[in-house]
Amino acid sequence: MDGHDDQTIGTKICNILLLPVEILWLAVKILYYICEDICRCIVPIKKKSVAGEIVLITGAGHGIGKELAVGYASLGATVVCWDINEETNNETMNDIKKMGIDSVYAYRCDITDREEIFRVARKVKEEVGDVTILINNAGIVYVKSLMNQSFDEIQRGIDVNVTAHYWTLKAFLPSMIEKNHGHVVALSSLAGLIGLPYATVYCPSKSAVNAMMEATSEELRMLSNGKSSVKFTTVCCYFVRTGIVKNLIIRFPLIMGELLPRNAASSIIDAQRRNYKIKSVPSVWLSLLKIVRHLPDKALECVIDFVGLRVDPED
């Protein structure tokens, strides 16, 4: 047996002896972070300032997107509004300017068009600067049975809710990585955590957003050896009164009523400023759904039937 073999055996023995120490250290770190999470429930993380940041919001022409634009502008950020509807997008910009705030811009952009995203992104960089907070808010839902959804509706649902996120990330994430400063926020949905009837495109698309954000965040953490300061926040919202969903049936409206866009936007901004990785609005729903998902299938169906929350199809 030569010296090389002795060294190899020694290394293996050392690794075996170190394994229990590594497992113990892992257990200590897990316990520490559990305690840290509990403490955060009691004493929330301090909100970071967004003054001077350049915030780009997709779907800023109405609903949550408009309220997000107003909210960030009020906090001193420069706001860039994107929407396919030029008229309502300009209305959002003008409403903010009426508040005495001039650091707001509006650009028409069809986020299903990859080339248009990159073209308008270059224009934003030239006229406003590098985007430091990207909020992928735009979304679409067709409340129909799978068999009654057209090919175009299925394709558009995926393009708006999922594919567009890839193009905006490709357009704006590089400058964040280069400067080691930035934040990406994706609006998902509680529907991305559980399958619902008449949402056979919407639910999977939002589930895909959750996975995309988690994978991108973890990839960047590994590539930077844990030194990246670029943050990722996924927000899973409950039903928001935006007019998109029209036939919502709620058995317990006093405790499960629709959210107002302004309240939802306020919670989203709060989640971003506190660097939450994933947050539901209302916050209690994320924990409840995680628990419910571990029930037996039949038990889960019983809970869904009892809650009596559903959306009747448009078809």
The catalytic residue positions are: 202
Q: Which of 74, 93, 95 is closest to 82 using CA atoms? A: 93
Question: What would the DSSP string read from start to end of 11-69?
Answer: HHHHHHHHHHHHHHHHHHHHHHHHHHHHHHHHSPPPPPP-TT-EEEEETTTSHHHHHHH
Cis peptide before 282 (omega within 30 of 0): yes
CB–CB of 206/213 below 8 Å? no
Nearby residues of 72 by Cβ (< 8 Å), 6 or more positions away: 50, 53, 55, 57, 79, 133, 269
| Conformational region of residue 50, where left means phi above 0, alpha means psi within -120 to 50, and beta covers everything else | alpha
